[in-house]
Amino acid sequence: METTQTNKLRYAIIGAGAGVLGMHRQALQSPSIAVVAVSDVNPEAAQQRAEEWSCPSYSDHRQLLSEIRPDVAVVMTPHPFHAQIAIDCLQAGCHVLVEKPMAVHVGEADAMVEAANQAGRLLGVVFQHRFRPEIRAAHQLLQNGQIGRIQHVTMSAVWTRTARYYQSAGWRGTWKGEGGGVLMNQAPHHLDLLCHLVGQPARVFSWTRRFLHSIETEDTVEATLEWPDGALGSLHISTAEADQAEYLKIVGTHGQLELNGGKLSARGLEMDIADFVATSPKPMAAPASHELPITLDTTTAGNHAAVYQAFNDAVLHSTPFTSAGAQGIMALELANACIYSNYTHSAADLPLDRQKYAALLVDLIDKKSL
C-alpha cells in the first residue's frame, strides 16, 4: 500500500456525482486522507468533483484503478452497481468502503466478501449509526450481560416520504433500480442496528405492502422474527405513515433497554425473571427494577467522519472495523429474507437460499411485481 510521507491514505471516489457525497464530504477532509481521483459515468459530474479536489476525473472506474492505483476506493454509485465495482477495486488492490446497502442481494455480497478475502483487503460498509453514543452504550450493556438472556425485541421506524420523493428519480421504488423499496433504501440502518445489537435472526415471516405509493416495490414491511436461541421479535418500517422515527426495545431476563428518538434508557431487575417466576410466593407479580447507569462516550458521533476514522485505523493499524465483511452482510440478508418471505408466503430461514432469492428477484424485475 502506497501512502504519502504524511501517512495519508490515497482515496478514490467512485460515483462522485451521487447526492450522498454531501454526507461524506466532511469526512473526506480528514488530514489522514488525500482524494487522488474521482469517477462518475456522468463526465460533467466527475469533472466538477475533480475540480473540488484538484485531482483527475474519469468516466470509467477501471481506468482510474489502472492509472491511479489508490489505497482506498469509496463506492457510492446506485447500489445495483456496488458489487461489480467493489470487486473490481478489490482485485486492483484497493481497500473498499461501500455505501449501504452493500449490494442488491446477498449472493452478490458473498462474492464481494470472497473477493476481499482473496485480495487480502478490507471491505467495509458505511453504517454510521453504529457509532452513535447511545448505540455504543446499548451494545456495551448487552455485551456485559446486564439485560440477561434476550427474550423479545421490538423495532419500529417510520420515514415518511411523499409521491414527489419517488417521482424525483426513476430508479426509486423499482425492482431493477433498487431491488426493493423501504427495505433497501430507508431500512438498512435499522436492520443493521437490530443485527448489530441482538444478532441476526434465524427465521423471518414477513408481509410487505404498498399502502400509499404508486411504486413497484414495498412502502411498508411488517415481520416477525425468531433468533437461534428462541428469542422472538417484531419489525415495522414504513414510508407511508406519520409516526415516531425510531423505536427499539430489547427485553431480557434481567432487564430491558429502550432506544427512542435517539435517547437510551435501561432498567435492571432485582432478580432474574426466570428465578422470580419459579420462586415467588405471589401468583401475580414482577420483580422490582431499578434504573441502570448509562455512560455515553461523546467523543465520537454517529456520522461519516466516525466511519472513516475507524476505517482508516483498520487499514493502517489493523484494528477491527465494526461493519466489515460478514458483519456488513447481515442487514442486506435480513432485507432479502423479508422480501422472500412475503412473496413465497412462508417463513424464510437464514442463511437465506441465495439461488432461490436471486431467481425471485429476476421474476420481480421481469414482472414488476407478483
Does residue 151 lie in a domain region? Answer: yes
Structural domain of 141: 133-298+330-367
Which residue from 78, 126, 79 is spatially nearest to 98, judged by alpha carbons?
A: 126
Phi, psi torsion values for 194, nearest 5 degrees: -60, -50
Residue 369 in this model has a pLDDT that exceeds 70: no
Enter the C-alpha cell of residue 274.
426466570
Residues 97, 153, single domain; the answer is no
Does residue 341 lie in a domain region? Answer: yes
Residues 204, 141, single domain; the answer is yes
Pick the range with the lowest mean pLDDT from 112-116, 253-257, 303-307, 364-368: 364-368
Residue 2 in this model has a pLDDT that exceeds 80: no
Q: How confident is the model at residue 6 (pLDDT cuts 50, 70, 90)?
A: low
Residues 144, 112, single domain; the answer is no
Residues 137, 58, single domain; the answer is no
Sheet holding 33-39, edge to edge: 57-58, 33-39, 9-14, 72-75, 95-98, 123-125
Residues 140, 92, single domain; the answer is no
Query: What does the pLDDT look like over 23-54, one tens digit per residue?
Result: 999 999 999 999 999 999 999 999 999 999 99
Query: What does the pLDDT look like over 54-65, one tens digit per residue?
Result: 999 999 999 999
**For 337-341, which contacts have Cβ atoms below 8 Å and span 24 or more sequence positions?**
337/201, 337/204, 337/206, 338/183, 338/204, 338/206, 338/208, 338/221, 338/223, 338/235, 339/180, 339/183, 339/206, 339/208, 339/218, 341/204, 341/205, 341/206, 341/223
Does residue 1 lie in a domain region? Answer: no
Residue 128 in this model has a pLDDT that exceeds 90: yes
Tell me how far apart the alpha carbons of residues 294 and 192 are, in angstroms, rounded to a whole number: 22
- Cis amide linkage into residue 101, ω under 30° from 0: yes
Q: Provide the b/e sequence for 279-318 (b: ≥16 CB within 10 Å).
A: eeeeeeeebeeeebebeeeeeeebbbbbbbbbbbebbeee
Q: What pLDDT is attached to residue 333?
A: 98
Tell me how far apart the alpha carbons of residues 269 and 291 are, in angstroms, rounded to a whole number: 9
Q: What pLDDT is attached to residue 140?
A: 97
Residues 91, 183, single domain; the answer is no
CATH number at residue 234: 3.30.360.10
Specify whether the CB–CB gap between 46 and 59 falls below 8 A. yes
Residue 115 in this model has a pLDDT that exceeds 70: yes
CATH number at residue 51: 3.40.50.720
Residue 245 in this model has a pLDDT that exceeds 90: no
Does residue 100 lie in a domain region? Answer: yes
Average pLDDT estimate for 286-315:
94
Residues 195, 264, single domain; the answer is yes
Does residue 150 lie in a domain region? Answer: yes
Residue 3 in this model has a pLDDT that exceeds 60: no
Average pLDDT estimate for 341-354:
98
Specify whether the CB–CB gap between 233 and 225 falls below 8 A. yes
Write out the E strands in the chain: 9-14, 33-39, 57-58, 72-75, 95-98, 123-125, 150-158, 203-209, 220-226, 232-238, 246-252, 255-260, 263-269, 289-291, 348-349
Tell me how far apart the alpha carbons of residues 14 and 85 are, in angstroms, rounded to a whole number: 8
Identify the DSSP state of 370: -
Residues 147, 257, single domain; the answer is yes
Q: What pLDDT is attached to residue 85?
A: 98
Q: What pLDDT is attached to residue 370?
A: 58
Q: What pLDDT is attached to residue 4?
A: 45
Does residue 2 lie in a domain region? Answer: no
Query: What does the pLDDT look like over 204-213, one tens digit per residue?
Result: 999 999 999 9
Q: How many domains does the chain have?
A: 2
Strand, coil or helix: 315: helix
Does residue 196 lie in a domain region? Answer: yes
Tell me how far apart the alpha carbons of residues 180 and 201 are, in angstroms, rounded to a whole number: 20
Q: What pLDDT is attached to residue 298?
A: 84
Q: What pLDDT is attached to residue 66?
A: 98
Q: What pLDDT is attached to residue 7?
A: 77
Residue 17 in this model has a pLDDT that exceeds 50: yes
Residue 68 in this model has a pLDDT that exceeds 50: yes
Residues 264, 315, single domain; the answer is no
CA within 13 Å, CB half, 331:
29
Q: How confident is the model at residue 323 (pLDDT cuts 50, 70, 90)?
A: very high
Average pLDDT estimate for 140-169:
97
Helices 326-344 and 106-119, packing angle to 10 deg: 160
Residues 54, 25, single domain; the answer is yes
Residues 200, 343, single domain; the answer is yes
Does residue 3 lie in a domain region? Answer: no
Q: Tally helices (H) and strands (E) across the chain.
A: 13, 15
Q: What pLDDT is attached to residue 5?
A: 42
Residues 224, 154, single domain; the answer is yes
User: How many percent of the chain have pLDDT more than 70?
Assistant: 98
The pTM of the full predicted model, rounded to 2 decimals, is 0.96
Which residue from 35, 34, 31, 38 is spatially nearest to 14, judged by alpha carbons?
A: 38
Which residue from 71, 191, 176, 189 is spatially nearest to 129, judged by alpha carbons?
A: 189
